[in-house]
Structure 1
Amino acid sequence: MGGSGMKGKVQLTGEDKAAILLFALGPEASAPLVQGMDDNTLSRLGRRMAELGKVDADVLNSVTEEYLELHRSEDPMLRSGHKDVVSLFKYAIESDRADRLLNELSAPKTLTIWEKLSRLKPDMISSSISDEHPQTIALILGNIDASVASRVIALLPEDMQLSVVMRMSKIESVPRELVKDIEETLERELSDMQGDSGISFDGMVSVVDILKGLEKAVARPILDQLRDKDEKLFTQVDRLLLVFEDLIDLSDRDIQTILKHISSDDLVKSLKGASEEIAERFFGNMSQRAAEIMREDMEVMGPMKLSDVDEAQQATLKVIRKLDDEGAITLSASDDMV
C-alpha cells in the first residue's frame, strides 16, 4: 500500500488513522500529542507516516471527522479536563505565566458584589439601601441587573423615586474610590445578611447554583428531602430554581393572569423551545383565533438559537416571579389545578 498512497474505501487500522491525523495536524499542532508517546509507539507511527504517500482527500476528511466525532461523543475517556489545560499551558507558554494562569483557573469562581445583589429579592434590596443618599442609591441600582433595579425603584418612597431615576440618567463617570467604598460597605452588609431560613445569602446562592447544575432526576429527590427538613429554605431555593417547564403545574386561572402581563414576542420565543405540553397549557387558555395566530408566528420564525430561547424564557419567568411576589398568582399551584 505504501507506494500507491491512501485512497478512499481502504480499511484503515488504528495506527493508519493516528499517522494520518498527525500528518493532517502538521508538526506544530502534533507536537504536544507526540511528546507523551513512548519510543516504540513513535517508531511505529513514524514508519507509518513515512509510508503514507499521497493521502486521498476523502480519507483525510473521514479520519479527521471520526476524530472530532469521538470528541463530541459521550465517551468518558475523551473528556477534556484540568490536566489537559495544564499540559497545554506548560507546553505553550513560559512556566511562570503558566503557573499564574493555572492558579487563577483553580480558584473557585466568586460572584461580584453586584451579581450577588442582583440575586436578592427586591424588597430586601430596597430596605437595605433606602436610608442612603439618592446619589448612592442611583449608583447601586445603576450597577445591578436592570429588571431587578426597576422593581427596587417601585418599592422606594415616592418622593425618592424621581430623584433616584434622574440621578441614574446622569451618571457618567464616577470616581473609582467612591465605587470601591460602596462595594466594600455592601459586601460587609451582605455577609451579615441571612434569609428567612437563617442561611447566609452566599450559602443560598451556592445551593441554587449546585442544584441548577444537577440533572432534574438527581435534583428533585434532594429538593423533596429539603422540603421535609426545612420548609422555609426549600421555598426560597425552589423559587430561585423555577424553570419554564415547571409552569405546566399552574392553574388555568394563573396562566390566564400571566398571559395578560407577558409580551407575546417573549411568549412565542419561549414556547418555541418548550415541550408541546407546555405550549398546550398556554394555547388552551387563549381564544382559538389567538392560539392559531401564535402557532403561525412560531412556524414563520423558523429555527432559533438556544440562547435566544433561554433569554425569552428568563424574561417571562421574571414577570411570573413578580406576579407571585404580588400575590396575583401562586407558583406552588400543583395541588389546586382547575
Structure 2
Amino acid sequence: MSDEELTDIEKAAILMISLGEEDAAEVLKHLGPKEVQLIGEAMTQLDNVPQSRVEGVVSDFMHLVSDQTGIGINNDRYIRAMLNQALGEEKAKTLLDRILATTNTSGLDTMRWMEPRQIAETIRFEHPQIQAVVVSYLEPDQAASVLAFFDDKVRLDIMMRVAALDRIQPQALQELNDMLEVQFTSSRSGQSRVLGGVKQASEIMNFIESSIEAELMENIREVDEGLANQIQDLMFVFDNLIDVDDRGIQVILREISTDVLLLALKGADSALQDKIYRNMSKRAAELLKDDLEAKGPVRVSEVEEAQKEILATARRLADDGEIMLGGGDDML
C-alpha cells in the first residue's frame, strides 16, 4: 500500500504515534472525543509501519502546514471509546486527564468523554428535563447507549422531552453547567444552543438496540401518533442505503472494512446486496459473494452492530457533505 492509499485518519494515527505521548497530548487536546476515537481505532490497526511510510506521512503533514497559517480543529463530533485499546487503559487515562486538564471544557462537554453508564448514573436522579437536555447534547450513538441504562418509562419520558426541545437559553444552559461543574472542568458560554427536536430524537433512535427501539417507538406512538410518524420518517435505517446514489455507495465502501460489510450484508435483502456488488470491482464483488455464501450462521446482534457501524459512517460522510442520504435534495 502506498502513502496515497492511506486515509487521513490512518495518517493522523501514524503521526500521533510518531510524536510520542507528550506531544500527542498537546495535539489531541484540540480534538473532540470522537475524533480521538477515530484516531485511536486507526492506531489499533497499525502494525510494523515501515519507516518510509512514517517519513512520507510526516513529509505530507509538513507540506500541508507550510501552506497554512493555522489549522482549525475545534469540534466535538466523536467519542473516545477505542483509545483504551490503542494505548492501554492506564496510558489512555493519563493522556485524557492531561487533555481535559489543559482545555476549557464545560460540564456538558466533559460528559462526551464519559462512558454511557457513568453518564446515566450522573443524571439518574435529576429532573427529567435535565436528563433530556443532557441526552440531546450528546452524540446520537452515545445518547442511545445512555438511554439503554434507564427503564422503559424513563426512556419514554426522556425521548418525548428530547423531541419537544428546540433551543435552550444561555442562563438555563449555564445553570446546568454550574451543576455539573461541581465535579467537572468549568467553561462559560454566552450563546444559546439548539438542542433536541424531532430530528435529534430520530438520530438517537437510529442507534438504539432494535428490540428497545421497537418498544420505545410503540410507546411514543401510544402517547403521540403524529410525533411517532415524524420520528419514523426521519430515521435512516440500513435498508435505506438502497436510495443512496452509486457514487455515494462507492464513497461509503471505501470507508468500511470487508469484515464489517460481510456481516452487515448477512441481514440485507437481495436488492441492496446487488446494489453493493454493482459498486465494487467485478473481482471484489465475486469474492464478497463467495464469502457471504460460505459464511455460517451469525448472531443477529452482530449483524445489527455491523449495520449500525456502516450507518454511522454514512451519516458522518453526509454531515461532511461528501454524500447525500435518501436520494433527496437535503443533506442529513
| TM-score (normalizing by structure 2) | 0.40
| TM-score (normalizing by structure 1) | 0.39
For the pair shown, which has the larger CA radius of gyration, 1 or 2?
Answer: 1
Higher RCO, 1 vs 2 (CA within 8 Å, ≥6 residues apart): 2
User: Higher helix share goes to which structure?
Assistant: 1
